[in-house]
A and B are shown apart, each in its own frame.
Chain A
Amino acid sequence: METEVSATALLLIPVITAFVCYLLKNEKLIGYVSFAGSLVLAGVSVPVVFAASSSPVQLMGGALFMDSLSTYIMAIVIVLGFASSAYSIGYLEHELKVGLTSAIWMRRYYMLLHLFIFTMLLVTVVNNLAVLWIAVEATTIVSAVLIGSGFRKRDLAIEAAWKYIILCTVGITFALLGTFITYYASIAVMGTEGSLNWTDLRAIARQLNPSTMKLAFIFILVGYGTKAGLAPVHNWLPDAHSQAPTPISALLSGILLNTAFYGIMRFVSIVEPSTGTAFTGNLLILFGLLSIGLASVFILVQDNYKRLLAYSSIEHMGIISLGVGIGGPIGMYGALLHILNHALSKPLMFFASGKIQAHYGSTKIEKVGGVLTSMPLLGTFIFIGALSLAAMPPFNIFISEFSVLKAGADKGLWTVIGLFLAFAVIVFYGLLSGFGRMLFEKGIEKDVVSSGFSSCRTTRIPNIIGNSVMFFMAAAIILLGLHVPSFIDGTIRNCIEALGVR
């Protein structure tokens, strides 16, 4: 009963915060209200997450379902939502000062930010796979407005938002077809009253018709794969991530991609028992490798650091897909840990690069130099984040990538591993040469525009909040690289069990 109340509160709090933010007229206060809202959300979520991560919880007659995988993704959504709303205070204050946004768009921004968090939470708690689709499509719609937000001032943002919503909606249409086909398969087994509840489908997964489920899975993979940024349907991703407001880029990259991939993981666990692991595994490995390879090439030639980060997201989604595809407990462990690690490193980098963009007034790598000397704290964050993203030991991403590699080696997939390693080397060089240049190269003379940008700094308190968020994320990156805490380790093990990976 208690869990039921707090789970309902979990879904209600972001909605309430959204409306309060929209109704508030005070520009100074609104950021702090949104910050408080996400703080309350984080507080309420703690007991629910702990209750559901050990034993699955079903609420409202089975409409809501939370197991360890849901809570794992949900916890990341909440933590990143918190970080983003904290960072947003300073970011929007700066945007308002330099005239890139207006007061009305600021209110809309905060409302949409919390609605965005709500839709992502909804993805993680629903049991019905069609409702899952509705929630994923809702994330697309809300985030498209966020990407284009304040589009009167930014011409390119509207181009990015248009590409994003068109590509993702078309892609996700196929996922709905896949869902229909799954429903059809369940009717064949369960009689006229078929079901789309994941728990029911999981129970009858072995009896589902393999060829129907194969067809369904292909549509699902194309649909949610588009949203998860898997190549070759990733084209929207670099545009959207580079043009969105910085806190939204962090959310898009850190967790939105993963909520779409969460859909794929749920489907894998009901498709696999009837078709065998080879079918889903090979498809995921294929798209994973394709994403890593394609991203590595673009990372090598990229001259825009925000797009560099976006392509790095494609690479990391590829690694997650590869981990799930290789499968087995170790591969799955690597993939799930990678979701968390990437959700820490990438938002840190986006937050830091947002500050750099505000300071230098450009997103070109060559226009930025000597960050480590001019802004030592920010430079250190970028240094840590870049090393982590390049999978340098002893940082966190090294551990999860190594787990994926180990799973591949155990299964003897030497071609896959060889290609993966080759691409990883290219990414390593591309990322570190790009960010190395920004960090260490001699500072360049600022032009008039950029000095205009840097003259209006944010006030102190938002700056401190933003910096401390980045500090905690950097600390988490280092600590997770040294040791995976037992509660994270335990949750991931429960997830592997819940998905039935052997």
Chain B
Amino acid sequence: MKNWIQAFAVVDFISVGILLTAIAMSAFRRLEACVRTYTLNSWLLSSLIAIVAFMIGETHLYVAAALTLITKGILLPLFLRRIVRQMKVARDAEPYIQNALSLTISGILVAVVYASLREGIFVSGFSKYVLQISIAVILIGLFTMITRRKAITQVIGLLFMENGLFLAGFSLTLGMPIIIELGVLFDMLMGVIILGIFAVQIKKVFTSSNLDKLTVLKG
């Protein structure tokens, strides 16, 4: 089994899958599709952790993988889907830039990250590409947050950033102690729930789920 994983470079395939789901998310306009890509992304992240745990034989990583699957792979997507249905918005409004352009920019981001981290400040144990990929996912998430108008797409961008961050942390240190992962996940869960409630309120108060209306406060 271990040989099989190494021979087919399964870890690299999964991490590339994580990158591709992030890029796909930056082009999707339907909100439910965005939520679904996020779910896929989280499942890939969780399975990556589980496979690495299997390869190096660290039992506590299985717990981390399970926690990731429960919070990011099941609870958050369910919550997000509920919010999306409750707000009755199927599609994101016209984004600030077109889909083709945002795909191109995502590609450029990946290339820039790859070129700048090629020398490798870090040597990670299980794959040499994972750190590059994770930084690229963080940047794509940030890029999505900047260019989208719906409150929910901003939250999804933030979640992609956090997935990228978890991947980066995992590739650097093989994960934090479980108690800390638990705390971070709990914070994240609470944060997203609050954001979801706020998003529904924005829709009620401003009678629009576009963030363009949030421009009263400035200067």
Chain A interface (Cβ < 8 Å from any Cβ of B)? 128, 130-131, 133-134, 137-138, 140-141, 144-145, 148, 151-152, 155-156, 158-163, 165-166, 169-170, 173, 176-177, 180-181, 183-184, 187, 194, 196, 211-212, 215, 238-239, 242-243, 298, 301-302, 307
B219 A301 Cβ-Cβ under 8 A: yes
Q: Which residue of B lies closest to A209 (CB)?
A: B121
What 4 A-B pairs are tightest by C-beta distance, nearest first? A180-B169, A134-B183, A184-B172, A239-B217
B214 touches A141 (CB 8 A): no
Interfacial chain A residues near B168, Cβ < 8 Å: 177, 180
How far is it, in angstroms, between the C-alpha of A152 and the C-alpha of B198 when the chains are bound?
A: 11
Docked Cα-Cα span, A242 to B219, in Å, equals 12
Question: Is A211 in contact with B121, judged by CB distance below 8 angstroms?
Answer: yes
Question: Would you call the interface of chain A mostly helix, strand, loop, or mixed?
Answer: helix
Q: Is B198 within 8 A of A161, CB to CB?
A: yes
Contact assessment for B121 and A212 in the assembled complex, using a CB-CB cutoff below 8 Å: yes
Contact check: which of B158, B214, B217 meets A242 at CB < 8 Å? B217
A162/B198 contact (C-beta < 8 A), A128-B180, A137-B191 known: yes
- Nearest B residue to A193, CB-CB: B177
Chain B residues lying within 8 Å of A298, measured Cβ to Cβ, are 219
- Enumerate chain B residues within 8 angstroms of A155, measured Cβ to Cβ: 205-206, 216
Cross-chain contact A141 with B191 (CB below 8 angstroms): yes
List 24 A-B pairs, Cβ < 8 Å.
A128-B180, A133-B184, A134-B183, A134-B184, A137-B191, A140-B191, A144-B198, A148-B198, A152-B201, A155-B205, A159-B202, A163-B214, A166-B145, A173-B162, A176-B165, A177-B138, A177-B169, A180-B169, A180-B176, A183-B172, A183-B176, A212-B121, A242-B217, A298-B219
A202–chain B nearest beta-carbon distance, Å? 19
For window 192-216 of B, CB contacts with A under 8 Å fall at: 194-195, 198-199, 201-202, 205-206, 211, 214, 216
Question: With contacts A130-B184, A158-B198 known, is A194 near B145, CB below 8 A?
Answer: no
Q: Which residues of B contact A (CB under 8 A)?
A: 121-122, 138, 142, 145, 151, 154, 158, 161-162, 165, 168-169, 172-173, 176, 180, 183-184, 186-187, 190-191, 194-195, 198-199, 201-202, 205-206, 211, 214, 216-217, 219
Q: How far is the CA of A239 from the CA of B206 in the complex (A)?
A: 17
Closest to A155 in B: B205
A194 to B184, CA, bound (A): 18
The verdict on A138 contacting B187 (CB below 8 Å), with A161-B198, A177-B165 known, is: yes
State in angstroms the CA–CA spacing of A169 and B190 once bound together: 12
Chain A residue nearest to B198 in the complex (CB): A162
Having A134-B183, A162-B198, A176-B169, one finds 13 other A-B pairs with CB under 8 Å, namely A137-B191, A141-B190, A152-B201, A156-B217, A158-B201, A158-B202, A173-B138, A173-B165, A176-B184, A180-B169, A183-B172, A184-B173, A212-B121
Q: Closest CB-CB distance, A460 to chain B, in whole Å?
A: 35
Q: How far is the CB of A168 from chain B (nearest CB, A)?
A: 10
Contact A169–B158 (Cβ < 8 Å): yes
A120 to chain B, nearest CB (A): 15
Q: Are B161 and A170 in contact (CB under 8 A)?
A: yes
The one of B121, B161, B202 in contact with A173, judged by C-beta atoms closer than 8 angstroms, is B161
Bound-complex Cα distance A304 to B169 (A): 43
Rounded to whole angstroms, the CA-CA distance of A38 and B166 in the bound complex is 38
Q: Are A130 and B145 in contact (CB under 8 A)?
A: no
- Given A148-B198, A155-B205, check contact A166 B158 (CB 8 Å): yes
A267 to B191, CA, bound (A): 25
Contact of B172 among A162, A170, A181 (CB under 8 A): A181
User: Is B198 within 8 A of A165, CB to CB?
Assistant: yes
Please give, as numbers and ranges, the residues of chain B lying within 8 Å of A137 by CB-CB distance.
184, 187, 191
